[in-house]
Amino acid sequence: MTIRYDGRVAIVTGAGQGLGRSHALELAKRGAKVVVNDLGGAADGTGSSSEAALSVVAEIEALGGEAMANGANVAKYDEVEAMVAAAKEKWGRVDILVNNAGILRDKSFAKGSLEDFQLVLDVHLMGTVNCTKACWDIMREQEYGRIVVTTSSSGLYGNFGQTNYGAAKMGVIGLMNTLVLEGAKYNIHVNALAPTAGTRMTEGLMPEKAFDLLTPETVTPAVLYLVAEEGPNRTILCAGAGGFSVSQIVETEGTWLAPEEQTPEGIAAHWQAISAPEGARALQAGFEQSGKMITKAAAGLGISLE
């Protein structure tokens, strides 16, 4: 089965270069009308220029596709709202949102400024919130939406010098998890991409030969799958150099401690059972954790919950 997006309208943020450009081009090749959003700033978020976005639009049009450039700063909701309104006015709907825009302000936590920390959160986390919020009601009304948030191994697992970036990239996972629940009855799927790519944001951070393997084009198929009509939901798909995997947040089965053992010493004594990986699973909503704990307590105390 060939995956296509004929009749669909996609917004890709940060689409002037790198990953975003690759995502926009491939969506267009498969039939989507694309809003190429790019502020046109440097990797650290400074400056702005429309040249990159216009260049990608020209590439799409040369291939016979439809696209429009937009320079909205994703950290500013009024600009994002105007971008989404322009897309709806031109094409009548918005079906796909790929939150890709980002900046870097890498420094160790001790040396980094709170101003830089806030800026990275504003672009990565609030930028994703702003774009999703501006599209959300449209997708609810048309009962169709496919949204991708871009996370990172820096958020999922940590990376030295990237507390700001890591915090933002883990934040979008929390956003995804709840949006999945709220969008379910409206046929809105929300997934996360964890890319490893050789772009201007990663240049100089790895050996040249490794950098050359990590092309944006090897990551984009993951996005194309995540935004497909029959694509998954609530999935963290990792991609890079042609490799693909799924990351999951799991919780151990754990154990219940009797009242006299509900102490830090009791936890230490039973740590092996509490942390044992056997039976660990990915919970699908926060209340599942509460339910598990209550069920264990009731069983331990001999209490019926009925």
Active-site residues, by number, are 165
Distance from C-alpha of 65 to C-alpha of 58, rounded to nearest angstrom: 9
Burial class (CB in 10 A: 0-12, 13-18, 19+), 147: buried
Say if residues 30 and 224 touch (Cβ distance below 8 Å).
yes
What strand order describes the sheet that includes 236-240? Answer: 67-70, 33-37, 9-12, 96-99, 145-150, 188-195, 236-240, 243-247
DSSP state of 151: -
Helix, strand, or coil (residue 87): helix
First to last CA, the chain: 48
